[in-house]
Amino acid sequence: SQPDIYVWNLIRNTLFVGAITFVLTYLYLHSSLADKHIPSAVYSLVAFAIGLTLAMRMSTAYERWSSGSKHFNELHNSITFLCMKARETLSNPEKEILLKHISLFLSNFNETLRNLDDKKDLDIEQSYLEELHNIMSLFTDLYDSKEMELGDMNVYHKTIQDIIVSAGSCVRIKNTPIP
């Protein structure tokens, strides 16, 4: 699982850095360099560089979290609006079909965001996009059979577009490596 992989990588990297530090310290103390004095300006410069690097990394991580949170909230709001609009304009059989497709979309989208395997990623991504296509097909069929007005069809179409944009943004943020 992902937390186990993270902990293992953290322990492995910590041990690697510790071993390098030990070897360098040992070599420094047992060489003629130990008698030489390193100016304190070097320590200040290294501390400044490390601090600047950490600040930039934290800023990037926060921007990524903030952007992901914004797009996820947009996705939530669009799906909530879709359900509210369906409740007032659709009959019971169509509502049940729509809720089934929305449930499958959310399940597949959840798998897309949690998936770590790139090979499976395309199949899962196709399945959540397929559910959005099924939802749009339901609305198109209702419009073609004159059970839905053009204004409602346009609202549903715009909402599905918003869902696609927000979901795509969430997936893009997930797939963007942290520098």
Helix boundaries (H) for 30-39: none
Place of tokens 């599905």: 160
Listed in sequence order, the residues at least 6 apart from 52 whose beta carbon sits closer than 8 Å to its beta carbon are none
pTM for the model stands at 0.66
CA distance 161 to 85: 15
Summarised one tens digit per residue, pLDDT across range 73-98 is 999 999 999 999 888 888 888 888 88
Lowest pLDDT segment from 26-35, 99-108, 159-168, 170-179: 170-179
Summarised one tens digit per residue, pLDDT across range 106-119 is 888 888 888 756 55
52, pLDDT greater than 80 = yes
CA distance 137 to 131: 10
And the tokens for 18? 């510790």
Compare 117 and 170 and report the one with higher pLDDT.
170
Q: Which of 163, 162, 173, 168 is nearest to 69 (CA)?
A: 173
Are 125 and 112 in contact by the 8 Å Cβ rule? The answer is yes
Are 79 and 174 in contact by the 8 Å Cβ rule? The answer is no
- Region 120-145: mean pLDDT is 81
- Region 64-81: mean pLDDT is 90
